[in-house]
Structure 1
């Protein structure tokens, strides 16, 4: 199976704050760092770190060659990363006491068009896996064309915006969401995570549903079975890339033949590594790190 991640590439500008800046307020940052990022790039790096051969498709500006170089250095195939006349996407991230607030500028990520999609998908076929997020333009065409080729589709519909109303989410085989995204897509405002999960599963019966809930762990609904994995208790440094790490490791675990329950635990463990480290992609652990830690904490169940 060939694995294609068609997604965003961003430069992340990260400011450590005492608290998040509010309207009409100016606040001095305690520290500043810049990193490579974007949900697409992060998830490709996570997949590669978890042992998968992954092709990344996306667009960068003249200022973004560091993004392509970072992917390549971390084992991602960058054959389908194209140049755009637009500046690269970037994010301004405030980090305060382990939580984050993010402003994203799409840039070259919003220069993805139908011509590019056709050119990339020409290299993929029935049974190949497409991973996508909602940080690039033309998402609806991407999902439709991938489904028409018989590809399997995993979607992380983040961020939630009006474009998702046009996107054919019913074509997806796997939806990976956080609790806010799940509530919005299911139109269920319950505080009961399982109820929201089941409402989303009812709306998209074809798809496996995986829902992350921060410190309360993660839920999944697969082939009629509902599962919950509690979060691992660790010191929190930066949550920026936790969800992307989770996505990459969950998919990799499934592709390695793990059960959905085992994949859920592995993904939560990988996310617990990420939140203990600063930055986005640089915070992603390796498969070996996660499995070694798991072996210390679990009995010999045959899952690893």
Structure 2
């Protein structure tokens, strides 16, 4: 019986955040204004955001020998994230990302895996664990991670789940691996740059021509997002934050907000608005998990921004799930 909500596949990462006034040019040295290390990784970011919103989340990812020492294990446990799928190893540390961030601009991100091939091996060695855990969940969300494992897992996956997919920057590194996963996908999340790349790879003129996912959500940064569903286009505005500090993780919290809203029985347009509201909190502090909101905070900001009472759910999860499981 599926008693939990969202199992996030992805990564557990230590984010090294560098705030700058401008991005460096080739061979240029610039002053870093602020440095922080925070907890991150797309999979973990989604899991924590879901939990903060009142959902029951879990993570399936490889951690590292410093997972406990650096306090990440404790953080996830305190946030009520199910960490049965956090694969511990004594062989190497957690992955690191180095995020160069400029105010009112996009990030530049570099990733470091000490033993990437061994990380993939550990995922395959624990595929039965992933299958076992997935039986407890309603939605399986796949984010930036190891797509060869995702493909193998989904090919053999026997239980019918709603599959959510956010390929992120892997769209540029491994676009054909992204394309291979689309046939398993019910909900696809991308930003406008990633959507453009997929159109180039598939030689299509519009993302509407994409076959596979029932619903496609394309983030447009400060211009909000568009949602393509059942021949309709929903245009969702970006909710204004109280301040802009760091955009890291805004996409992950957006995905979490959207999925939690669907689970609560909200229609597609309202779920998009809720997701936009959730994302607005993330950019108000340094780090992807630092300022994630509770559901109550989302309700208040939603009402303030959209100038209307927070709506009641209009459907049921079972009805939404049935519709989304029918792919294009």
Q: When the two structures are superposed, what TM-score results if normalisation uses the length of structure 1?
A: 0.89
Offset at 1:109?
6.8
Residue of structure 1 in register with 2:252 after alignment: 244
Map residues 94-173 of structure 1 onto 2, 5 A cutoff.
Answer: 94-99=100-105, 100-107=107-114, 111-112=119-120, 113-125=123-135, 128-136=138-146, 138-146=149-157, 148-159=158-169, 160-166=171-177, 167-173=180-186
1:187-242 alpha-carbon deviations (Å, 9 max, x no partner): 289xxxxx97xx33422244310111001101101122210011123432111111
Offset at 1:144?
2.3
Matched, 1:77 2:90: no
For 1:271 and 1:15, locate their aligned partners in 2 and report how far apart those are by CA, in whole Å: 21
Offset at 1:283?
2.6
Residue of structure 1 in register with 2:196 after alignment: 183
Offset at 1:21?
2.2
Map residues 263-302 of structure 1 onto 2, 5 A cutoff.
Answer: 263-297=271-305, 298-300=307-309, 302=311
Offset at 1:14?
1.0
User: Number of residues paired by the alignment?
Assistant: 297
Offset at 1:6?
1.5
Runs (4+) of structure 1 exceeding 6 A deviation are: none
Is the 1:218–1:229 contact (alpha carbons within 8 Å) kept by the matching residues of 2? Answer: yes
Residue 186 to residue 74, structure 1, CA distance change in 2 (3 Å)? same
Offset at 1:158?
1.4
Residue 127 to residue 78, structure 1, CA distance change in 2 (3 Å)? closer
Residue 188 to residue 227, structure 1, CA distance change in 2 (3 Å)? farther
Is the 1:52–1:252 contact (alpha carbons within 8 Å) kept by the matching residues of 2? Answer: yes
Residue of structure 2 in register with 1:192 after alignment: none
For 1:98 and 1:171, locate their aligned partners in 2 and report how far apart those are by CA, in whole Å: 35
Offset at 1:35?
0.3
For 1:107 and 1:129, locate their aligned partners in 2 and report how far apart those are by CA, in whole Å: 30
Offset at 1:114?
2.1
For 2:113 and 2:161, locate their aligned partners in 1 and report how far apart those are by CA, in whole Å: 26
Residue 107 to residue 210, structure 1, CA distance change in 2 (3 Å)? farther
Residue 68 to residue 214, structure 1, CA distance change in 2 (3 Å)? same
Residue 123 to residue 94, structure 1, CA distance change in 2 (3 Å)? closer
For 1:27 and 1:142, locate their aligned partners in 2 and report how far apart those are by CA, in whole Å: 44
Map residues 6-21 of structure 1 onto 2, 5 A cutoff.
Answer: 6-21=9-24
Is the 1:157–1:164 contact (alpha carbons within 8 Å) kept by the matching residues of 2? Answer: no
Q: How much is the aligned-residue C-alpha RMSD, in angstroms? A: 2.4
For 1:299 and 1:207, locate their aligned partners in 2 and report how far apart those are by CA, in whole Å: 29
For 1:233 and 1:188, locate their aligned partners in 2 and report how far apart those are by CA, in whole Å: 34
Residue of structure 2 in register with 1:217 after alignment: 224
Moved more, 70-79 or 163-172: 163-172
Q: When the two structures are superposed, what TM-score results if normalisation uses the length of structure 2?
A: 0.83
